[in-house]
Amino acid sequence: MDGEQHPTADGPLPEVVDWILATVVALVGLLSVVAGSALVFLVDRDGLAAGIEDGTVTVTVATTELTDAEALEVADAVVSWTGAGLLLVGIGTVLVAVGYLVARRRAHRRSKTGEPTGSYGTYAVLGAVVTVVLSFVPFSPALGGGVAGYLERGESDRTVSVGALAGFLPAAPVLAVLVFVLGGLIAGLLTIGQIGEAIVVGTTLLLTALLVATLAAALGALGGYAGGRFAERRATTSRPQRAPDDG
């Protein structure tokens, strides 16, 4: 942190919250590792070939009809790259959860000695978890950002940024996996000589992923602003009024 004091919630969140958040993030990472391992170790080229032959696996690229041999090349590349991406992103997510927990434990130890500490990162992660849990609700990044902004407090100038971070964090691992999917798709299309399709599909998918991530961050920022304003108004209305001076 930058060392500057920012008014936030009434007190630091309990350590149990850090453990819960780290556990949730680690579980998401482990699920990604399991999915990646399944693709890497259980799905092989022969199985894909059999699936394409009997129609279980279909590969369609825009309006281009692929032969079974071409479909196999593309499917094999996509599966290989996606499996590797899920593995790497999952392992990275678990490491982030461990690093987060270590950093928060150090912050709690510093707070016990009277050193100033902040919970900006914790609020962002908490908001991100809320976004994921409420992902079935439209515009859930705004809700997660609102929680983060409320905890950061309206007096702080970081409610918008913490909300944006809360909205973007859930999209970050998805974006990373999509990069691997895109890499596999482009590699497969280049293998069969579909250079034009590779450029068009790759550009479209990349722009779509970036748009989704940007929208999630923007909704989170909007929620963070609203949450901060609500916290500020709530603090103002609950503040005791001073009695007027007689003289």
Tens digits of residue pLDDT in 166-196: 999 999 999 999 999 999 988 888 888 888 7
The domain locations on the chain are: 15-237
Q: Could you give the C-alpha distances from 178 to 87, 88, 140, in angstroms and in order?
A: 13, 12, 21
Distance from C-alpha of 164 to C-alpha of 149, rounded to nearest angstrom: 9
User: In this predicted structure, which of 49-58, 119-128, 199-208 has the lowest mean pLDDT?
Assistant: 49-58
- What pLDDT score does 23 carry? 93
The tokens describing 242, both together, are: 């001073």
Q: Across residues 124-128, what is the average pLDDT? A: 92
pTM for the full predicted model: 0.81
The tokens describing 217, both together, are: 């961050």
Dihedral in degrees, nearest 10, Cα atoms 191, 192, 197, 198? -10
